[in-house]
Amino acid sequence: MAETSSFKISASILAGDLLNLGEAIRTCERAGADMLHLDICDGHFVPTISFGEEVVRRTCQESKLPAEVHLMVSRPGDWLSRMADGGQFRMIIHVEADTRVMGILQLIEREGWKAGVAMNPETPATAVEPLLPYVDNVLIMGYAPGFAGQPLLDYTYIKTEDVRALIEKTGSSATITVDGGVKAGNARQLVEAGADILVVSSGMFSHENPDESLNEIRRMVAGE
Ligand code: DX5
Ligand code: ZN
């Protein structure tokens, strides 16, 4: 069973008030998020459009929290120049988004960002094995990407165990993120399955007390 005490929470602003992003960022900070998760939806790789490079740039200026950008976009390579000077963050691209993901991950590293690879629910764990030398993070979607607030697919636990086994087999030091559907009620099981980072959005913004929501998740993971 995985160590449960060192996991981190990455707060996504997607379920926050997009007309009041500054306040959404401050909610993440007050709640004690370890990092910010910025979801870019392009209306092509996923059916929705969220926000783009200017919001990423402003968010990185506004908050001291480390950030990760989850690019749910087709042709992720085109986004690298758009993101130049946007700040220091982990850039996460989808393994399904391009046929040249390995090369794009190498470019991301060369530009000085951390690189992560994300996978949709239908994508088998083995799809990321050849990419492990080029990433510091694997993001497992808990449901089909594009919308916050959906329920976690049960299959996610087994997939997390499978990715953890691949990471151990290959000697990779990549961390595992589970993104989508994370709530206080399933967080412990996800960390036990091997998740290092949990993304939380509606579990915080739709909570009766957002400032306390992440503490509640931490208590549940600790078994308190
Ligand atoms: C979904 C995004 C997720 C989402 C998580 O397309 O990639 O990061 O914001 O939202 P919740 O926590 O509400 O499932
Ligand atoms: Zn995301």
**Dist CA 40 CA 30 (whole Å):** 23
pLDDT tens readout for residues 178-217: 999 999 999 999 999 999 999 999 999 999 999 999 999 9
Q: For ligand 1, is residue 16 a contact (CB within 6 Å)?
A: no
* Token pair recorded at residue 153: 């697919």
* Ligand lying closest to the C-alpha of residue 48: 1
Residue 54 has φ and ψ, to the nearest 5°, of -70, -40
Of 10, 55, 54, 15, the closest CA to residue 32 belongs to 10
pLDDT tens digits, the chain, 224 residues: what are they? 566 779 999 999 999 998 999 999 999 999 999 999 999 999 999 999 999 999 999 999 999 999 999 999 999 999 999 998 888 899 999 999 999 999 999 999 999 999 999 999 999 999 999 999 999 999 999 999 999 999 999 999 999 999 999 999 999 999 999 999 999 999 999 999 999 999 999 999 999 999 999 999 999 999 98
Residues 161, 142, 73: CA angle, nearest 5 degrees: 115
Q: For ligand 1, is residue 68 a contact (CB within 6 Å)?
A: no
Return the ligand 1 atom nearest residue 180 CA.
14
Gap from CA of 142 to ligand 2 centroid (Å):
10
Of 166, 52, 163, 66, the closest CA to residue 118 belongs to 163
pTM over 0.85: yes
What is residue 5's predicted lDDT score, i.e. its pLDDT? 76
